Structure formats: structure tokens, C-alpha cells
């Protein structure tokens, strides 16, 4: 069954680091911890719709690397439909 709602936009990986204080210009800090999260305005809306029980798909470009696989797995876990066309293919 095709999704009832289709999000078209970007999906990104957000890196979040915990530090002691906000750095001054040119100051270098060591982070206490680092995490990555899926992001992108339209991608976040698609996940929100899926969590509310909506039938939603997402159309966008995702890289073919470990971050791209992380994003695809996140969409799968959140029950957001994704296509399987490669960005290298011309359709």
C-alpha cells in the first residue's frame, strides 16, 4: 500500500557534543560525550507523522556510507516508507 503522506526534503545526521562551557572564538574544547541523531526538518515531520500512526513516506537523497545506512535503519525503525532507487540511477 502506498503511503498517504509523502515528505520530500533533506535528511541529515546531527552530531551533538557535550562540553564544559560554550567555546570562545578559536578556543578548542574536548567533548565529554558525543552522539549522533537523525535530523532534517522534513524527515523529522515524517517521523512525527509515523509515530502518530500516519502512513508516511519520505523522498530524498541519502549517501551510500555508514551514516546513510544509519539514516535508512532509523527510517525503518520509525516505520517511514522509503524507496530503493539509488541516487546514481537516472529515472
Given a cut of 60, whether residue 76 has pLDDT beyond it is yes
Angle formed at CA 44 by CA 76 and CA 21, multiple of 5 degrees: 115
Give pTM, 2 decimals. 0.76
Neighbours of 64 (CB within 10 A): 10
Could you tell me if 59 and 40 are in contact, meaning their C-beta atoms sit under 8 angstroms apart?
no
User: Which has more confidence, 83 or 32?
Assistant: 32
What is the per-residue pLDDT across 32-57, written as a single tens digit (0 to 9) for each? 999 999 999 999 999 999 999 999 99
The rounded mean pLDDT for the chain is 88
pLDDT at 80: 94
Amino acid at each position: 500500500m502506498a503511503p498517504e503522506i509523502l515528505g520530500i526534503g533533506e535528511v541529515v545526521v546531527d552530531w551533538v557534543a557535550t562540553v564544559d562551557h560554550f567555546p570562545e572564538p578559536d578556543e578548542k574544547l574536548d567533548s565529554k560525550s558525543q552522539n549522533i541523531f537523525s535530523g532534517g526538518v522534513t524527515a523529522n515531520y515524517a517521523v512525527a507523522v509515523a509515530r502518530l500512526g500516519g502512513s508516511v513516506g519520505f523522498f530524498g537523497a541519502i549517501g551510500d556510507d555508514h551514516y546513510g545506512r544509519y539514516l535508512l535503519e532509523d527510517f525503518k525503525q520509525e516505520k517511514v516508507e522509503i524507496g530503493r532507487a539509488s541516487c546514481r540511477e537516472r529515472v
